[in-house]
Structure 1
Amino acid sequence: MTTKDSLLTNIDHVAIAVYDIDAAVAYYDDTFGCTVTHRERIDSDGVEEVLIRVADSYIQLVTPTRDDSPVAKFLAKRGEGIHHVGYRVTSVAQALEQVKAQGHQVIDEVPRPGSRGTTVAFVHPKTAFGTLIELVEEGKASSSQPSR
């Protein structure tokens, strides 16, 4: 087997869609002793997110702030659960171009701003074995923190 450099440098976060973000935060605090490291409302995506640090990665709890957001649609169709996996990459632009060059379907044709200074792009689950993938490039403000 030959080796090649991976575009993915780490698991940035696992995002879990929830109806009640405060109840989910209390669950992780009461059950596992986890604390919130970041909380942000992202109006462009129609979500509120909470990040909970777990070793070098995060659990990202997301809840919709409006009925037409992708997370609201996800919850209506599938209920609560894992929404996507975020992978850290050195360059979202480079990773996105490679994904597209291999014929995979993407949601974001070009990289876009994520929370806390990150740059992100999503790969469609239709060509990623049913998993929504977020590519996350750290920004100056993120300081090794995950994005959405």
Structure 2
Amino acid sequence: MNVEGKLYQIGVVVRDLNAGMQHYRQLFGLGPFCRLDTNYTGRYRGTLQQIANRNAFARWGDLYLEMIEPGKGQSSASEWLAAKGEGIFHLGYATTNLEQRPGGVEVCFETIDSLTEEGQPAVIHLDTVEQLGYYVELADYRLAERLANWIDNTANRQDQ
């Protein structure tokens, strides 16, 4: 499966965000973590709903870790946590081609509130669990760049 874009993120789902940050800090020396709680409209497996999560981000070498504690609504993260437990559930690619469907896979999740300049959902998850063992996230490259800059700038301020 060839995904057009740059791998930039590892998505991890946890039951407790504070415990997850502590675990990754102790195990891998990650941090500082940048916290961001989300509350947005999304479409998951055809159902439009409000989704709210607790999130934390940290640089992990050349990539970023996104840690998600699912809250309100059904999503790829909440489905993964219920079915498989904590762990890596997606790899995120920054791309200009949000319409790609390698191997003909379907979209199972998309943001509705966060759109590209062209009016497309800025973040989608491809239902690649059967083929790859995890979801593939496609994120608009401009959104991914803004997120990376925010993480780096916030982490730099925390280090001072």
* 1:121-141 deviations in Å (ceiling 9; x for gaps): 221125743421101123369
Map of 1:17 onto structure 2: 13
Q: Secondary structure at the match of 1:46?
A: strand
* 1:80-138 deviations in Å (ceiling 9; x for gaps): 1111110111x1xx341x327x6321225788628xxx922221125743421101123
TM-score of the superposed pair, with normalisation by structure 2: 0.66
Change (3 A) 1:141 1:104: closer
Map of 1:105 onto structure 2: 106
Between the aligned partners of 1:6 and 1:75, the Cα distance in structure 2 is: 25
Map of 2:70 onto structure 1: 64
Change (3 A) 1:122 1:72: closer
Aligned length: 133
Following TM superposition, by how much is the alpha carbon of 1:33 offset from its aligned partner in structure 2, in angstroms? 2.2
Where is the strand percentage greater, Structure 1 or Structure 2? 2
Map of 1:32 onto structure 2: 28
Where is the helix percentage greater, Structure 1 or Structure 2? 2
Q: Which amino acid aligns with 1:48?
A: R
- The alignment-based identity, stated in percent, is 22
CA contact (8 A) 1:25 1:36 kept: no
**Structure 1: gaps (5+ residues):** none
Q: Secondary structure at the match of 1:139?
A: helix
Following TM superposition, by how much is the alpha carbon of 1:32 offset from its aligned partner in structure 2, in angstroms? 2.5
Aligned with residue 53 of structure 1, among 51, 54, 59: 59
**Structure 2: gaps (5+ residues):** 41-50, 116-120, 150-160
Change (3 A) 1:141 1:32: closer
CA contact (8 A) 1:47 1:62 kept: yes
TM-score of the superposed pair, with normalisation by structure 1: 0.71
Change (3 A) 1:14 1:47: same
Aligned with residue 122 of structure 1, among 122, 125, 142: 125
Following TM superposition, by how much is the alpha carbon of 1:56 offset from its aligned partner in structure 2, in angstroms? 1.9
Between the aligned partners of 2:129 and 2:4, the Cα distance in structure 1 is: 20
Between the aligned partners of 1:131 and 1:16, the Cα distance in structure 2 is: 11
What is the root-mean-square deviation in Å for CA atoms of aligned residues? 3.3
Between the aligned partners of 1:28 and 1:145, the Cα distance in structure 2 is: 19
